[in-house]
Structure 1
Amino acid sequence: MSWIPAVSKDQASPEVKRIYDFLGENWGFVPNYFLALGRDPQLLQDQVNLFTHVMFEQRALPKQIKEQVALVVSGINLSTYCLAAHLEILGRMGIEKSVSRKLALDYKSAPVEPKVMELFRFADKLTRHLADIEKPDVDRLREAGWDDAAILESVLVVSLYACANRFSAGIGLIADF
């Protein structure tokens, strides 16, 4: 599963088992990402809360767009763990594999609305050249039709996957799918 042994449900403390049960009931399975955090119940709970609130709750951005942004960022970062996860999730959401592959490998060729493409361009710049982000970058998102809540949420998704991509690579996580 990774270079650092995970904590299986059988080995887990009661507190960690409760969190694993939540994941199983609400996410359909316990991702290896969270099994790897099973040694620290508080950190595990914090990560589950963060991912649940950012990615699965309906806020300013539709869930499908958040998943697509996560896939674009994971593709840029060449995160094999996160790429596999988001390709699977988008497939379950009904997105054609060919579209998801384009998002992962060359998002600029993906058939998406111009408004969404602008969000991907912003995510790309924030991922590759974060020191170069300026107010005009945010203004372009507004001009494309995104409000401040959606912009803030998109920055949070990009930031979350900057962390997740590096965490999964750093411990050698094996993909769930």
Structure 2
Amino acid sequence: MSYLPSSPNLTSFGGMLAKYPRRGILLFKLLEDIKSGFSPLSKEMRVLIIAYISRLNQCELFYKAHKEKAVESGIDEAIFDQLQTDISGANVDEKLKPLLHYIKKLTLTPDQITQTDAQRIFDVGWDEQALLDSVSLCAIVNCMNRFVAGIGIDLEIPGETYKLQRMSG
């Protein structure tokens, strides 16, 4: 049930977009640009990052949809639990770990981001585009996670994962 008095039965992201199409179109355009355009981050990395941010935000709707998509692309499902407890010890590419640390900090404690955090990303060989893409993904996913939670549609609804996957790539 949504928190919107005019739409108490609005329970899906797709339903919200159908009722208020202008609210989500720009977010989806930005997300699609980052997910499908040129990036030093592979598509699998980008999906992993989206799922990871959503899990940090406790946004089950987006987390489950993107985790499922990541697993379908060959990412080991156990990685998601590893990332929750210990990024440094997780079974992911060592080069990805500074990006994941940065994203976690940017999501949970953005006021604590420093030049040193960014430098760790550059030190392992990523370029500015990788940092920019990571920050952009983080910003958009945080916005979308908070949007669905804020209007009350971050719910586990049968079939919703499929709808979200179809809409987001």
Is TM more than 0.5 here? Answer: yes
Given the superposition, is the C-alpha separation of residues 34 and 53 from structure 1 closer, same or farther in structure 2, using an over 3 Å criterion? Answer: farther
Alignment: residue pair count: 152
Where in structure 2 are there 5+ consecutive unaligned residues? 162-169
Asked if 1:151 corresponds to 2:140, the answer is: no
Give the Å deviation of 1:119.
0.7
Question: 1:56 & 1:35 partners in 2: Cα distance?
Answer: 24
Task: Indicate conservation of the 8 Å contact 2:40/2:129, yes or no.
Answer: yes
Query: Is the contact between residue 27 and residue 140 of structure 2 (CA under 8 Å) also seen in structure 1?
Result: no
Return the TM-score normalized by structure 1.
Answer: 0.75
Higher relative contact order (CA 8 A, sep 6+): 2
- 1:121 to 2:98 alignment: no
More divergent stretch after superposition (35-44 vs 114-123): 35-44
> What is the deviation of 1:120?
0.5
Q: Match of 2:58, SS?
A: coil
TM-superposed deviation, 1:96: 2.2
1:13-162 superposed matches below 5 A: 32-103=12-83, 105-106=84-85, 108=87, 109-162=89-142
Distance 2:66 2:146 in 1: 16
AA aligned to 2:154 is L
The CA RMSD measured in Å over matched residues stands at 2.1
Unpaired stretches in structure 1, ≥5 consecutive residues:
8-31
Residue identity matched to 2:101:
R
Indicate the larger mover: 78-87 or 48-57.
48-57
Q: What percentage of aligned pairs have identical amino acids?
A: 25
TM-score if structure 2 supplies the norm length? 0.78
Amino acid at match of 1:85: A
Q: Structure 2 vs 1, CA of residues 39 and 128 (structure 1 numbering), >3 Å: closer, same or farther?
A: same
Structure 1 residues 79 and 173, CA, compared in 2 at 3 Å: closer, same or farther? closer
C-alpha separation between the residues in 2 aligned to 1:162 and 1:94? 25
